[in-house]
Amino acid sequence: MNNLISLENSSHPTGKIYPKRLVDKPIILHIETATDICSVALSRGKQLLGLKEDANGYSHAEKLILFIQELISSCDMIPENLDAVCLSTGPGSYTGLRIGAATAKGLCYTTAIPLIAVTTLESIVAGARNRHKEDAFYYVPMIDARRMEVYTTLFDEKGNMIHDISAQVIDADSFQKLLQQRRILFCGNGVPKCEPFLAASPNALFDYTPLSAQFMIEKAYAKFALQQFEDIAYFEPFYLKEYIPGKATVKGLY
């Protein structure tokens, strides 16, 4: 990220000074709105304290703030107890990412706490690795980008990203050279439409673990310890592609 700041030497955009937090087990709110899943998690250190989510379609505008309020309250806390907010930054749904970013920024502004950013593809891989802890293979997370296109990248056995994130159209030739060399676990909500093109290879494996805010916890904890925070004033989600609004269908507009 280009807008990383240090908690030790930076001020809050409102003029407040971030305290130098020597927190062994920070309380972090995690927000995931990059796809059709609306998910919020609360953690202390690496421990999951609570989780609220809805996978029944794009309900972010309706449910995100309500989920945050209910989750914090159910854990007997108030927003001022938070040490940071972690946001899944995309790529993904333009509207979902905008709602998540606006909510996260608002919380950080009002409570004077830092913002942590984790790419959505990192979260997908974290969820898949959690289910396959004893296995060693490469990971290709996929986010559905409509038609036969997905947002994707490549992670090694240890969960390190080793390729730039890109938008790719999947066909019968996709990943074939890599599949000849090693086993690959394909994961994410783009997998169902891509599996028919990839399943012929014995090295192709598939994971359908749903995207969830809880899979940001470990990465967020590590970034908090290293004080790798975003500049709230300039932070923007990672859209990857420009947003192109659909043509209005209301009679009389065009």
pLDDT of residue 200: 94
Residue 2: band (very low, low, confident or very high) from pLDDT cuts 50, 70, 90:
very low
Q: Dihedrals φ, ψ of 163, to 5°?
A: -150, 150
> DSSP string covering 1-47, please?
-TTEE-TTT-B-TTSPBPP----SS-EEEEEE-SSS-EEEEEEETTE
Question: If we measure between CA atoms, which residue out of 234, 145, 231, 246 comes closest to residue 188?
Answer: 145
| pLDDT, averaged across the chain | 88
Q: Dihedrals φ, ψ of 161, to 5°?
A: -70, 125
pLDDT of residue 58: 82
Pick the CATH number of 4-120+211-230 from 3.30.1330.30, 3.30.420.40, 3.40.50.720, 3.40.309.10: 3.30.420.40
4-120+211-230 and 121-207, same CATH topology? yes
pLDDT at 1 over 80: no
The pair of three-digit structure tokens given for residue 15, joined into one six-digit string: 């003029």
pLDDT at 3 over 80: no
**121-207 classified as CATH 3.40.50.20:** no
pLDDT of residue 201: 96
pLDDT at 6 over 90: no
pLDDT at 7 over 50: no
Domain ranges of the chain: 4-120+211-230, 121-207
What is the average per-residue pLDDT within 164-184?
Answer: 95
pLDDT of residue 21: 52
Question: If we measure between CA atoms, which residue out of 54, 135, 122 comes closest to residue 92?
Answer: 122
CA distance 87 to 90: 9
Residue type at 65 in one-letter notation = I
